[in-house]
């Protein structure tokens, strides 16, 4: 019997240990790794996006790591197309492949496909952009909360691009953004197994705080300074850079900017968990679970799918 194509996807909050687990699973199953982190695509953003270290990249073949520029026009639809094409070629070599990342929307795009959304008139988009520039992000967040509470509760609220996108669909269609989601999609040519890593909130927050400190020791401030002239690019509307841009603007002290990075990263981790917990079929493990236990559970699921 020909084995079925199976994509093992590792999810969980930032700083939980997804990269290390993905490499262990890739080595065990002799597979490649598809990176599904929407900011690790960009070669100019290494430190602030926690790109895997050189020895980690050498331990298993990775795809979609620092393969784009912040000046490229690249979005979730482009990634869906590119990732599916890459997976087709990888499955020809090995029916088991690994995907890892913390970007829930990008993961769902690969596993399920994108939802259809109506066209938005340019005047509505421009008006909302003007509102963002003149009134601030919080005003748009509150408006989205009124028009679509479901989206408000799961979206990356600190990402202006995401808030604008959801809000413009609400305004243009007169219908909540969330109602256009979860429609029938094109079937995939692979089965999906999701593996989630979890920990107590205090542990996650402590790991995040320590990771930010390490990023700063490794040169995050200098990296952000080099990117500062391009701060309005969508790719740079990201926790870790945006707060330092405010420091360079003179709006924040350095100490306050660092505390905001930690706070906003913790909030991001909370939203990640909210997103990933929606899938009841995910196999969840404590972040300290021995790799042999995880491999055993995943192998059982693979055998079941191939039976």
CATH architecture of 6-114+185-306: 3-Layer(aba) Sandwich (3.40)
pTM here is 0.82
122-180 adopts what CATH topology?
Histone, subunit A (1.10.20)
- The pLDDT value recorded for residue 146 is 95
- The pLDDT value recorded for residue 189 is 94
Q: Could you give the C-alpha distances from 213 to 23, 41, 96, 219, 262, in angstroms and in order?
A: 24, 23, 36, 10, 9
- The pLDDT value recorded for residue 188 is 93
Q: Roughly what angle, to the nearest 10 degrees, separates helices 137-147 and 122-135?
A: 130
- The pLDDT value recorded for residue 301 is 96
The Cα 88–Cα 34 span in angstroms is 12
The Cα 134–Cα 58 span in angstroms is 47
- The pLDDT value recorded for residue 105 is 87
Residues in the chain where the model's pLDDT stays below 50: none
Domain with CATH 1.10.20.140 in the chain: 122-180
- The pLDDT value recorded for residue 39 is 92
- The pLDDT value recorded for residue 234 is 84
Q: What pairs with residue 34 in β-bridges?
A: 63, 99
- The pLDDT value recorded for residue 1 is 54
Give the residue from 287, 294, 234 showing the smallest Cα distance to 14.
287
């Amino acid at each position: 019997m020909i084995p079925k194509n199976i994509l093992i996807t590792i999810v969980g909050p930032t700083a939980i240990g997804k990269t290390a687990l993905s490499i262990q699973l890739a080595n065990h199953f002799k597979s490649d790794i598809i990176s599904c982190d929407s900011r690790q695509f960009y070669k100019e953003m290494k430190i602030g996006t926690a790109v895997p270290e050189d020895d980690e990249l050498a331990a298993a073949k990775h795809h979609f790591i620092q393969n784009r520029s912040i000046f490229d026009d690249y979005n979730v639809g482009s990634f869906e197309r590119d990732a599916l094409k890459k997976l087709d070629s990888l499955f020809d070599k090995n029916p088991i492949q690994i995907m890892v990342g913390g970007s829930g929307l990008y993961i769902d795009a690969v596993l399920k496909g994108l939802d259809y959304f109506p066209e938005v008139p340019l005047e509505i988009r421009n008006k909302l952009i003007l509102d963002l520039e003149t009134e601030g992000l919080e005003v748009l967040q509150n408006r989205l909360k009124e028009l679509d509470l479901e989206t408000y509760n799961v979206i990356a609220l600190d990402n202006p691009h995401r808030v604008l996108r959801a809000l413009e669909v609400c305004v243009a269609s007169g219908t909540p953004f969330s109602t256009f989601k979860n429609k029938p999609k094109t079937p995939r040519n692979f089965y999906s197994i999701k593996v989630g890593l979890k920990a107590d909130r205090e542990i996650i927050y402590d790991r995040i705080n320590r990771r930010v400190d390490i990023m700063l020791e490794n040169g995050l401030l200098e990296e952000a300074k080099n990117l500062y002239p391009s701060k309005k690019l969508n790719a740079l509307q990201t926790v870790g850079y945006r707060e330092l841009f405010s420091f360079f603007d003179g709006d924040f002290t350095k100490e306050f900017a660092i505390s905001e990075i930690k706070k906003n990263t913790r909030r991001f981790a909370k939203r990640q968990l909210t997103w990933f917990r929606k899938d009841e079929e995910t196999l969840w493990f404590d972040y300290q679970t021995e790799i042999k236990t995880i491999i055993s559970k995943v192998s059982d699921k693979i055998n079941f799918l191939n039976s």
